[in-house]
Amino acid sequence: MASSKSFILSLLFVATMSSFNVEARSLLQTTVQPQPINPDLPKPSHPDLQKPSHPDLPKPSVEDLPKPSVEDLPKPSYPNLPKPSVEDLPIIPSLPKESLPPLHTSIPTFSVSPVSSPAPAPAPTP
């Protein structure tokens, strides 16, 4: 009884999903993709506005403008900062070269023999 219920529910689920798929495809096919349109915009009915002119203000010419130079730039000023006072550091004596431990440059490896096989017999020396 329980297996027949789950079988019926799974069939109902598959049927619902396939109907959703069919509906989605039909909607996609009937939906018209909008084409970019360049509509003819109406011409403005007002006359072209001119830029306002101010006759009372004189317009400077290029020759009237001042020419900048390096001498016109402000000079940097350096504040008078106090000088740092640092005490002399103590001298640390260096160790003689013979007293240094040797450096190990290789990584130590561990050799573990397998438990299931016996250890190899030593080779006889002639």
What separation in angstroms does the CA of 38 have from each of 34, 35, 41, 111?
12, 10, 9, 81
CA 33-34-39 angle, 5° bins: 160
- Classify residue 3: in a domain, yes or no: yes
What separation in angstroms does the CA of 73 have from each of 63, 65, 69, 80, 103?
21, 17, 7, 22, 61
Per-residue pLDDT tens for 11-69?
Answer: 999 989 888 887 877 877 776 566 666 666 666 666 666 666 666 776 666 666 677 77
- Classify residue 110: in a domain, yes or no: no
Domain housing 20: 1-27
User: pLDDT category, 118, cuts 50, 70, 90?
Assistant: low
Would you report the helix, strand and coil content of the chain in percent, each value rounded to 5?
A: 30, 0, 70
Per-residue pLDDT tens for 79-116?
Answer: 787 877 777 777 777 766 666 666 666 666 667 666 66
- Classify residue 106: in a domain, yes or no: no
Q: Is the pLDDT of residue 4 over 70?
A: yes
**Total domains, the chain:** 1
What gap in Å lies between CA 56 and CA 48, rounded to an integer? 23
- Classify residue 4: in a domain, yes or no: yes
Cβ 17 vs Cβ 24: under 8 Å: no
- Classify residue 6: in a domain, yes or no: yes
pLDDT of residue 30: 73
- Classify residue 2: in a domain, yes or no: yes
pLDDT of residue 8: 92
What gap in Å lies between CA 84 and CA 104, rounded to an integer? 44
Q: What is the CA radius of gyration of the chain?
A: 47
pLDDT of residue 88: 75
- Classify residue 5: in a domain, yes or no: yes
pLDDT of residue 90: 76
